[in-house]
Chain A
Amino acid sequence: MSTTINQSPATKSPKILVFSTDKISDPGIDQAGLRKIHYAPSVYVISLPCSSGIKPKWILHALEHGFDGVFIAADGHECSYSSRCAEHTNTIVEASQELMKEKNINPRRVRMAALCSVCAEPFASHMENYGKILASLED
């Protein structure tokens, strides 16, 4: 049977946008690939220098333009830029949730967890769990 590659996948898993960081969590996500640890192909990653630099408007943009959830793979205590990285990133999550409330978007559609540079399995399991949560949301 032939089909165009543009069709959405038969098994519809939620579309997740991951914000990772160049030095810590993105290598962790790469590692998952390197070790052929599978996660849903509906996961897309944008890597930034630091998770504290994510603008809430980007999160909102993603949620309004077709993503089911945004996952911030933060540096936590390992951040090489700031020892207050977790604090800053948390503020960003809270700020986005405020914006999301105004637009009637479920605040659970943004989520944050610390991910290290070798956290391959944790990343895959985060994606699985978050995918399940997103699938259950009806907003």
Chain B
Amino acid sequence: MKQRIGVYICHCGGNISDYVDVEELGKMFHQEENVVVSKDVMFACADSNQKDMVADIQANNLDAIVVCSCSPKLHLHTFKNVAARAGLNPSNYVQVNIREQCSWPHSDRPREATVKAAGLIRAGINRVSYSESLENIELSVKKSALVIGAGVSGMKAAIDLARSGNEVFLIEKDFFVGGRIAQKETLFPTNQNGKEVVAALYNEMKKFPNITIFTGATVEKVSGSLGNFTVDIKVKPRYINPNADKKAVKRAMDECPVNVHDDFNLGLVERKAIYKNYPEALPDVPVVVAEALKDATDFTGKFASTLNLNEEAQTLSLIAGSVLVTTGYDHYQPKEGEYGYKTISNVVTLPELNRLMEMNPDKLVYNGKQIKSLAFIYCVGSRQTKGDNKYCSRQCCTSTIHTSLQLKEKYKDIQTYHLYRDIRTYGKQELMYAESSKQGDLYFKYEEKEMPVVSVDGKSTIVKVKDYLTAKKEMEIEADLVVLVTSMVAREDATTISELFKIPIGRDKFFNEIHPKLKPVETVIKGVYIGGTCQGPKNVSESVQSSLAGASKITALLKSGTVSVDPIIARVDADKCTWCGKCSDVCDYTAIKKVLFGEKHVAGVNKAVCTGCGICAPVCPENAIEIAQYTDNEIESMIDGFVMDFDIKEKGAGKTVEVEEEGKVGMKEYPQVWREILAGMTDEKNTIPEIATNSKLASELVTFHLMTMNRYGVVVPAGMDAKETYYYYKVK
């Protein structure tokens, strides 16, 4: 139990002290037995006060401190550092939130806010008296990073990590790098060719000897933890003899007699069983679909020295200090019959259209027919109130409008119709929307309750839509091609990665960061970061921003060779533990294992893996598990502190504080201008012009403040005059 506690109660300018009587509280807690210093300070976070605190801790030999100010999200580390600078273990510090959770929400009831603040501070003192000095867990880290997924995000991050001097392993599931952007002919806003971007990044990577790229590789097993992950990967064979002559390989590609499904072109065409995604695809070695060539013995016999059909997959073990997951997304695949997809021949998705455009440089032709008009249906597979994908896929509006501009530029005489729910071309992308409107693209707004219907009428395809821009008039659009603007969805294999690395998955099935704003690339798994579209829909620049953020985080983490981890983790009381295994069953991170303690088996916590979530604690039938800083003593003493107000009274330490009667705020609490307004009011009804004249204030100012005063119950509206022009106000 701590005996020499320092309590600092902050005015926060007036943010707290306007409503909570901090001076009185400061005096009150000074009377407590184990409180040595109790002060009210104007700004606890100010440099001068921080210096005073350090001096106080040293001069009074304080063993714990409580700072009662704003939310711990703002200044927890500020004051932990103050403690550390004064030579006090930072775990002996408790932050009490008397602003966001007291003075502000209860600004309407200052007296009760003060009572609540007293309870909160008492709880903080109780908690800190049970605090223990905890040391951070020091782990040594390998200066190497594993990046999973060689799309634009992964490649950018790999370059950044390598440039900072880390050993980088970049693994890609496909046999070629580039991911989704290689499928885009032009990228917004620079109109760069996706394949050129991929080539440039690949060549840049090649300049770094500390980047090792594995293509056709998948993660098979993960063990270890922050600083020392061991990741087993399986590299699938390409079935090409590494010593084969390049020309022979080229000839084999050309002469290959068997065709297979072309995943890269989304199945719109077929490709040879010896293929590259596209001629310039990198690494510049084709891949053989060995299974498909099983029966083509003549062909495989002819190229026996070029092909190596007996090649086997390799398993490698990589050791990485940290992991960045940039596995990307899948396109939403419309169900059969969704807007006529797969049932009406000229219904395609937007990614399919993008492939078609690249394959048709001069004339846009689909199913042997030249396309002159296209109807885009937005929000297919996203923003479904009743479906699985409730989220907005954020980049598809821009992608569609960009495609629409490209269509016009590439094929000239073409008309597009856009059936949208809301256009979300945020930021500069709005300019593109304006350009599209100017070039004559037609926009129709529909609502989810009245979805467009695609039907066939003789030879033509008709899209019917109730247009909310023209009073829900039903429009019929005849289109040569109906394009479904499909959303980004989480990759099918995301669950595999999630299970291997224990990354939590959100409701949208994408990987979950700790917080979208405050910790946007961190996961709860120490040392595992996420970037790009594997965490949710993003455009190229947003994807790269997040993966680079992840790369910076990793560089900072690996820099010194050791890393210190928060000691807030689970601990097991070995005497109490009888090893039933329940804690181990609920732990998603396999942080708890059966270990031998003396002669019995007990639960052992892996310090590097435990996230301190506490899920294991309530399931223990023996109550043998506690989370550091959230022990039974700490939590229960806080509860006792909250309900303690009568105890304080009995001690007679409370003193008394002048507070007004319930429902009436003390005059001293009002801003000056309120007092002037009140002085200009009579007990009867007053209109704003009257008050303005009496108090010599501008009527706008009077109106503004009367609204606020009304909200705080200082004045009440008393209706209008006979002509229903003026609002009357009365002093409450």
> Is the CB–CB distance between B615 and A82 below 8 Å?
yes
Cβ of A57 within 8 Å of any chain B Cβ, yes or no, is yes
B627 contacts the other chain (CB 8 A): yes
B199 within 8 A of A: no
Whether A6 contacts B645 by the Cβ 8 Å rule is yes
Bound complex: CA A47 to CA B254 (Å): 66
Q: Which chain B residues lie closer than 8 Å to A54 at the CB level?
A: 618
A43-60 with Cβ < 8 A to chain B: 44-50, 52-58
Asked whether A30 lies within 8 Å of B73 as measured between CB atoms, the reply is yes
Judged by a CB distance under 8 angstroms, whether B506 is at the interface is yes
* Docked CA distance A79–B523 (Å): 11
Contact A57 B623 (CB under 8 A): yes
CA distance A57 to B504 in the complex (A): 28
Size bracket, chain A contacts:
35 or more
| A33 and B101 contacting across the interface, CB-CB below 8 Å | yes
How far apart are the CA atoms of A8 and B648 in the complex, in Å? 12
Residue B24, interface by CB 8 Å:
yes
Return B390 CB to nearest CB of chain A, in Å.
11
Shortest C-beta distance, B686 to chain A (Å), equals 26
- B interface residues, tally (CB under 8 Å): 74
Complex: how many Å from CA A77 to CA B120?
A: 30
A5 touches B615 (CB 8 A): no
Q: Indicate if B195 sits at the interface (CB-CB under 8 A).
A: no
Please tell me if the beta carbons of A39 and B105 are within 8 angstroms of each other in the complex: yes
Q: Which of A2, A6, A31, A65 lies in contact with B115, CB distance below 8 A?
A: A6
Q: Is B617 an interface residue (CB 8 A)?
A: yes
Closest residue of chain A to B650 (Cβ to Cβ) is A6
Segment 506-551 of B: residues with Cβ below 8 Å from A: 506-507, 512-515, 518-519, 523-524
* B446: interface (CB < 8 Å): no
Interface membership of A135, Cβ < 8 A? no
Binds A, one of B486-494, B631-639, B717-725: B631-639
B684: Cβ under 8 A from any A Cβ: no
Binary interface profile of A, 26-48, with partner B (CB < 8 Å = 1, else 0)? 11011111101111011011111
Complex Cα distance, B619 from A34, in Å, reads 36
Instruction: State whether the Cβ of A95 lies closer than 8 Å to any Cβ in chain B.
Output: yes
A58–B615 touching, CB < 8 Å: no
> Chain B 207-232 against A: per-residue CB contact (8 Å), 1 yes, 0 no?
00000000000000000000000000
With both chains docked as a complex, state the minimum distance between the C-beta of A42 and any C-beta of chain B, in angstroms: 7
- Flag if B112 contacts A6 (CB, 8 Å): no
Q: A53-B614, A82-B615 are in contact. Are A38 and B105 (CB under 8 A)?
A: yes
A residues 1-33 with Cβ under 8 Å of B?
A: 1-11, 15, 17, 23-24, 26-27, 29-33
Measuring CB to CB, which residues of chain A are less than 8 angstroms from any residue of chain B?
Answer: 1-11, 15, 17, 23-24, 26-27, 29-34, 36-39, 41-42, 44-50, 52-58, 61-62, 65-67, 77-84, 88, 91-92, 95, 117, 124
